[in-house]
Amino acid sequence: MQNPYLDQVIEGDCTEVLFQLPAESVDLIFADPPYNLQLRSELWRPNLTKVDAVDDEWDQFASFEEYDAFCRQWLEGCRRVLKPDGTLWVIGSYHNIFRLGRLLQDLGFWILNSVVWVKTNPMPNFRGRRLTNSHEILIWASRSPEARYSFHYKTARSSNDDLQLRAEWHLPLCTGAERVKWNGQKAHPTQKPEALLQRIILLCSNVGDVVLDPFLGVGTTAVVAKRLGRHYIGIELDPTYCQLARERLAQVVPLPETLLSYPVEQKMPRVPFGALVEEGIVEIGERLRSLDGRFEAVVLANGVVQAGEIAGSIHKVAAQLLGVPSVNGWTFWGVMRGGKLRSLDALRQEILQKHGQVVQGTEHIQPSLLGED
Ligand SMILES: C[S@@+](CC[C@H](N)C(=O)[O-])C[C@H]1O[C@@H](n2cnc3c(N)ncnc32)[C@H](O)[C@@H]1O
């Protein structure tokens, strides 16, 4: 049965709603909680206009203890709904992010990265008594250290001029036409830029996945998820924000699937080395040679390979011979065919083609992304 909460904006308190949703049903969570800014007085610009600061009731907590208890509750709820291989992103500022980081670790989440969002157009520091507050911090965490989480490494690199994407992201604040208006004024004090959500959702989820935001505000996460062909679930306390989010979502047309697929990211269908032996592509007793010509191993009947005293998978034996933690055995080993040394990877492609599956661009994907040990 389909989850009845899919593609809904749910008006309610996330510390309760998260315990009503089906357990382990969400692939990705983006949480932009109250920051507990503790603003003590009004803030004025030098030109005597008042700064529209975040002094809303939803950002008021009597003490750090009260804030921590609240965050523990919603983080426990997130942990409950997250699939074992799902991940969670949480955003905050110096006011709250360190408390959130500690709570995440206390609850068993496994922190994968912290990302600094460098605001290219920050609000100046009007009092001149501190540095300009020009960044926010995001924490990306999996449910456990063992989680096999989604991360589109190649997408990140390809969209960054073939350089590994770093953990500081330069993006502007949400301004202009993107800013949701209500009665001619900006509707929400902390609306996040769609570009930030787009990056996270593209990197850490797949078409058809479920993306949840427990503090939906005016709907940014859901809007981007819908546009990118993901399902969304949004929870928001404030009925006006819920209404604005629904109106915003009604305008969103999902992108066609042809624009959402990334051939370079296709997961390698699993072809164990034993299948090559079973199909007679590599023979029992045949010698494997490392492509650099330095090592040899013999293929045993059960698909295990042996090099002297070392026996195991093609990956493990290669790693032990080289004395490194992991090696992609498919691109390390080859066999002689027609007087030439052919890589096991090339032979594997043959088996895939025979089964009607063609894999593109695998040669640069890390072994870990191919699900190999
Ligand atoms: C920092 S804002 C999120 C803004 C959102 N990312 C956006 O782009 O519009 C936090 C939101 O959480 C909502 N909120 C506060 N406490 C909540 C709770 N217990 N359950 C659900 N929503 C809550 C507030 O009304 C506010 O809209």
Which domains occur in the chain, in start order? 8-40+52-264 (3.40.50.150), 273-370 (no CATH)
Judged against a pLDDT cut of 60, whether residue 137 lies above it is answered with: yes
Write down the pLDDT at residue 368.
Answer: 36
For 34-62, what is the mean pLDDT? 74
Q: How many angstroms separate the first and last alpha carbons of the chain?
A: 35
Phi-psi group of 226: left, alpha or beta (phi > 0 → left; psi -120 to 50 → alpha; rest → beta)? alpha
Q: 56: CA distance to ligand 1 center in Å?
A: 11
Judged against a pLDDT cut of 80, whether residue 291 lies above it is answered with: yes
Q: 363: CA distance to ligand 1 center in Å?
A: 43
Residue 190 Cβ contacting ligand 1 at under 6 Å: yes
pLDDT digit string, tens, across residues 209-226: 999 999 999 999 999 999
DSSP assigned state of 324? S
What distance separates the 2 farthest-apart alpha carbons in the chain?
85
Pocket test for ligand 1, best of 232, 237, 242, 244 (most atoms within 8 A of CB): 237
Q: 15: CA distance to ligand 1 center in Å?
A: 12
Q: What percent of the chain has pLDDT over 70?
A: 88
Q: Is 146 exposed, middle or buried (0-12, 13-18, 19+ CB in 10 A)?
A: exposed
Q: 258: CA distance to ligand 1 center in Å?
A: 33
117 Cα distance to chain centroid: 15
Cross-strand pairs, 334:
289, 343
Residue 222 Cβ contacting ligand 1 at under 6 Å: no
Confidence bin at 167 (pLDDT 50/70/90): very high
- Its pTM stands at 0.72
H or E segment at 299? strand 296-299
pLDDT digit string, tens, across residues 229-271: 999 999 999 999 999 999 999 999 999 988 887 655 555 566 7
Selection from 27-41, 76-90, 161-175, 331-345 with the highest mean pLDDT: 76-90
Residue 236 Cβ contacting ligand 1 at under 6 Å: yes
Contacts with 248 (C-beta within 8 Å, 6 or more apart), sequence order: 180, 218, 219, 223
- Spatial contact of 207 and 260, defined as CB atoms under 8 Å apart: yes
Residue 150 Cβ contacting ligand 1 at under 6 Å: no
Judged against a pLDDT cut of 80, whether residue 358 lies above it is answered with: no
